Structure 1
Amino acid sequence: MKLYLDVARPYQPMLRRAPYPESLETRKEIEKNINELLHMDVIRKIGHNEMGEITTPVLITWADVKSRLCGDFRALNNYTKADRYPIPRIPHSLDKLAKDKHITKMDCMKGFHHNGVKPKSMKLLRIICYMVIYEYTRMPFGINNAPAHFQRMMDTIF
């Protein structure tokens, strides 16, 4: 099941944006995340002459320890047709689990990155870091339909 971004209204391509300014420490963390995503085949380098969207990466840090690289896809999200697939409510899920006799733990670390992206949508999912352009080949964080798409995938598994 691969992500397809359905553009709902006439889409005006955004301008190519330079990366946001960041500290040397943040830059090292972005490079670490880029290398990890390249190693996992979540992103790939593309040539500068390829047309398409290019946005800037955003580093989300929590607990002063972990960080996650997202794209600033806000402009794209404004044009993407909303996926209304229902996300289960936590209390409802806990009520269902309370009745079960066996519970299995599944690690969904970076779960979005387990979903591929259809080639037609890849050209919309590009980020630029230090004059190098990368294209997501798997579902990135920062896309408004990613949670619904991930839930649909989980529902097909279970």
Structure 2
Amino acid sequence: MLGTKLAFSTAYHPQTDGLAERMIQTMEDILRRFCAYGMDYKDHEGYTHDWVTLLPAVQLAYNTTKDFHDMWKRDDDTAAKCIAEAKAYNKQRWDKRHMEPDFKEGDQVLVSTLKFNSLKGPKKMRDSFVGPFTIIRLIGKNAVEVKLTEEFSRKHPVFPVSLVKPYFQTEEAKFPSRKKNPTPPDIVEVEDSPVPVSKIIRARKIRLNGKDQRQYLVRFKHQTADKNKWLAEDAIPDGNLHLRRFRASSRTEQSHQ
């Protein structure tokens, strides 16, 4: 036909042509009423055989069916209405068990250690919360910025309210025998507390800032292989000792080749 374009759908993928699939589903539903098992007019096996004579009536009924908008003079909003009702119901259930936190600048809070991946000790044995820290700024309704102490100064100071809870000052007069909480665990930082070197694995030469530089792949004690680092000679802890051992082992390997 003039002005039309033939567009084939993807094989074995009915979702490609959803309009046709919707029509086929409607026709199957109509025909099921005429030829399905269990009709009043059926033979001894329970099937009707006169459905062919009823096809013209089915064709006429389908072809003369009006669009929903033409019949009712409005759009069908059933799906949109159901979605809106579901959202309102979920919001009601959520709001029933959750309240917006009432934090203010200057309040003291405890911060969850859930995202603190560099703390010492077994993860399951750590404190669930550390602090107290002082809130210095509110970021909307869902986040706060706190003033971190020196032990946590390398952490990003902004936390969602889901990881923060109010801190209540202990009344020491009521609990004279209670021990004070120990100081929060330190964060493991290689830059501040160098990890002892186990050995130097190999060397390489790279060009950095227009100059040739030799680097060494260093393995640290009590660390897995994924923690190995490429370091310059002057950045290796106790570099002289380990470099002598590395060069001696390299000469030995070359002599055996």
TM-score norm. by structure 2 comes to: 0.14
- The structure where strand makes up a greater share of residues is 2
TM-score norm. by structure 1 comes to: 0.20
- The structure where helix makes up a greater share of residues is 2
- The structure having more radius of gyration, on CA atoms, is 2
Relative contact order, higher structure (CA 8 A, sep 6+) = 1
